[in-house]
Amino acid sequence: MLIAGNWKMFKGPQETRAFVDSFQPPEGVEVVLCPPFVSLEAALTGPHTIYAQNVHWEGSGAYTGEISPEMLLELGVQGALVGHSERRQLFGETDEMVARRTRSALESGLGVIACAGETLEQRESGDTELVLKIQVEAIAFAAGEYEKLVIAYEPVWAIGTGKTATPEQAEEAHRFIKGLTDRPVLYGGSVKPENAAELLDQPSIDGALVGGASLDPDSFAAICRAASPS
């Protein structure tokens, strides 16, 4: 099981250090923290695996505001999220950009958690599988034979809304994604200590990508315990 915490635009270096000092996940669960870029170094002072929230495809160049895989590696960061729905919806990321970020990060040796998911409108018009197919195939094709890729299924309508996909809805989407690519698939969208166990119990759910509930060390540790084998 892999449990990743996406902090989004929360926690500067000071709050990050405080989190790392008090966060105690159980043994036997792979945990990843994804702080904002400016807090990566502070997060790396702890014992946890640290991923960035995005990564550019070039090694260096005139790309204001972007960070390269090499820069992350120099810092000791082990991977990156790519294609989060907030990047796609608010910052115009296309499947092509997500594919390039994925490819370059994997080539440089970083791990990648690549996100896919449908909006409410797409779900209601019956397009969930089509959307997932387009997004996941772009990612899987870009990743080729590289191993360190994990897919995160994040239905956009369940992100930050308190509306979780039912375990059955999540399982159905995960099974569909696994039919497209043979990769671990995390579920993301309003995962909390109260609903983590029933989601993680589903056979095709290999872990979680947690937003809001990963900001508090106790609630994030509780979610990690729900994934723990003991």
The answer to whether 154 is a known catalytic residue is yes
Length of the chain counted residue by residue: 230
Cβ atoms within 10 Å, residue 162: 9
Cβ pair 117, 90 in contact under 8 A: no
Q: Does 159 participate in binding ligand 13P (rule CB under 6 A)?
A: yes
Q: Does 206 participate in binding ligand 13P (rule CB under 6 A)?
A: no
Q: Does 190 participate in binding ligand 13P (rule CB under 6 A)?
A: yes
Phi, psi dihedral angles at 87 (to 5 degrees): -65, -40
Q: Which residue is nearest to ligand 13P (CB)?
A: 211
Residue range at the interface with ligand 13P (CB under 6 A); choices 13-21, 172-180, 182-190, 222-230: 182-190
How far is 224 from 207, CA to CA, in rounded Å? 9
With CB under 6 A as the contact rule, the residue among 210, 221, 223, 224 that binds ligand 13P is: 210
Nearest partner of 53 among 193, 214, 217, 216, judged by Cα: 214
User: Residue 27: how many CA atoms within 13 Å on its side-chain side?
Assistant: 1
Q: Does 35 participate in binding ligand 13P (rule CB under 6 A)?
A: no
Q: Does 211 participate in binding ligand 13P (rule CB under 6 A)?
A: yes
Q: Does 83 participate in binding ligand 13P (rule CB under 6 A)?
A: no
Nearest partner of 98 among 29, 151, 147, judged by Cα: 151
Q: Does 25 participate in binding ligand 13P (rule CB under 6 A)?
A: no
Q: Does 154 participate in binding ligand 13P (rule CB under 6 A)?
A: yes
* Least distance between ligand 13P and beta carbon 170 (Å): 13
Strand, coil or helix: what is 156? helix
Cβ neighbours for 145, distance < 8 A, ≥ 6 positions apart: none
Q: Does 49 participate in binding ligand 13P (rule CB under 6 A)?
A: no
Residue range at the interface with ligand 13P (CB under 6 A); choices 89-97, 124-132, 187-195, 196-204: 187-195
Cβ pair 183, 206 in contact under 8 A: no
The answer to whether 84 is a known catalytic residue is yes
Binding residues for ligand 13P, rule: CB under 6 A, are 6, 84, 154, 159-160, 188-191, 209-213
| Active site (catalytic) residues | 84, 154
